Amino acid sequence: MRRARSAPREGWEQIVESQGLAFHRVAHPTGSPRPYWDESVHYVFSLAEVEALEEQVEELHRMCLAAVEHVIERDRFKDFAIPAWAAPEIAQSWQRRDPHVYGRFDLRYDGDGPAKLLEYNADTPTSLLEASVVQWFWKQDVFPADDQWNSIHERLIERWGELVLPTGPTHFAWTNRDETGEEAMTVAYLQDTATQAGLYALEIAMEDVGWDPANRRFVDLEGRVIRSAFKLYPWEWMLGDGFGQHAVRHAASTTWIEPLWKTLLSNKALLAILWELYPGHPNLLPAYLDGPRELSSYIAKPLLGREGASMRVVTPQGTIETPGSYGVEGYVHQAFEPLPDFEGQHPVLGAWMVADESAGLGIRETSGLITDDTSSFVPHRIEQP
């Protein structure tokens, strides 16, 4: 693994926008000198590295599914700050094997030794279009002889085709809370892959989803029953909202993607459960719910935190905190290993899962210790021997 430089394509802004990445213009704070999509640099991997990473990611996924089984069997929902009333519904969703489509592992990896799991974005991961489409066409234009860890697009279409969904349209929902357009862009892309798989797909804002109390079912603005829906709207928000609780209490009447049982995988308490079940595993960092224990350097992550907010990095040299309003739900304390340093930039590997198979890689990098909403997405390639 190495970081390399190459000249950006002439008119790259128009190119990526034509591929759907309009979000890149508003992704960074005003005045940021660096674009969100940055093709002036990229990462280069060997085929052997990628094959090893694929195996590690799929093993992590299997471990995560085993962790879900463990939490449900041992009734450990309190560790995840999940309200007692929702626990039986989550268990039933798992027992029904409600279908899932995709997720993203965030990994620490520097090319030397096994990757380390930082967290699993299993419910509402974004940066999907960049990883699937935009970086693929970059590779085709700039390094056509090389390869890329990227079968995301094909696997998504295949996965939508595998699902057995209720009759009628599948609704694709985002939230109007998103001011950047990133979520609408991600949902539009997923809707397109579902349409290519033959599904009848309709778009809708979560705020426009209605509830028919007489028939106990969700409806859209045209009065159509919502029998299946993809939502880029986290389950923890639905658990905490009176209207959203209908989706939990009547989950069997609507097929939600991602499914309710993924509340256990999108919660950072998962990191501590994994370390408890697989202590010393080469792809895990020590993590605890009851405090840092023996760790002299650790990062305290709110169980339901997003975009690097409300985190605290503690080392013998001092403490660094990020702003945010998360943490009331509790924290997990994970061993802190600084992200690798490549020319002053620190990459996080986002390894994509589609269904139960690894499907590709996206890389975000930042100059800071924590990858947040100021990070840039950079492409990658697999160098031919």
Q: Can you read off the two tokens belonging to residue 365?
A: 């990098």
Q: 42 burial class (0-12, 13-18, 19+ CB within 10 angstroms)?
A: buried
C-alpha 224/C-alpha 169 separation (Å) is: 9
- pTM of the prediction? 0.95
In order of 244, 257, 263, 325, the CA distances from 228 in angstroms are: 15, 8, 18, 32
Q: How far apart are CA 339 and CA 355, in angstroms?
A: 28
Tell me which H or E stretch contains 230: strand 228-231
Output the CA torsion 143→149→154→155 (10° steps). -170
Amino acid in the structure at residue 106: D
Rounded CA-CA distance 156/179 in Å is 26
Domain ranges, ordered by start, for the chain = 2-267+340-382, 291-335
Whole-angstrom Cα distance, residue 295 to residue 278?
A: 18
Backbone φ/ψ region at 267: left (φ over 0), alpha (ψ -120 to 50), beta: beta
Q: Which of 362, 364, 370 is nearest to 348 (CA)?
A: 364
Q: What letter represents residue 314's amino acid?
A: V
Q: Phi/psi zone of residue 34: left (φ > 0), alpha (ψ -120 to 50 degrees), beta?
A: beta
| Cβ pair 90, 314 in contact under 8 A | no
**β-sheet with 298-302: strand ranges across:** 287-288, 331-335, 298-302, 312-315, 318-321
DSSP calls for 14-52: HHHHHTT-GGGGGSS-TT-SS-SB--SEEEEE-HHHHHH
Letter string b/e over residues 1-32, b meaning 16 or more CB atoms within 10 A of that residue's CB: bebeeeebeeebeebbbebbbbbbeebbeeee
pLDDT in tens, the chain (385 residues): 999 999 999 999 999 999 999 876 655 555 567 889 999 999 999 999 999 999 999 999 999 999 999 999 999 999 999 999 999 999 999 999 999 999 999 999 999 989 999 999 999 999 999 999 999 999 999 999 999 999 999 999 999 999 999 999 999 999 988 877 888 999 999 999 999 999 999 999 999 999 999 988 999 999 999 999 999 999 999 998 888 889 888 877 899 999 999 999 999 999 999 999 999 999 999 999 999 999 999 999 999 988 788 899 999 999 998 888 888 899 999 999 999 999 999 999 999 999 999 999 999 998 877 776 678 999 999 998 8
Q: Which helix (H) or strand (E) holds 61?
A: helix 47-74
How far is residue 204's CA from residue 229's CA, in Å, rounded to a whole number? 10
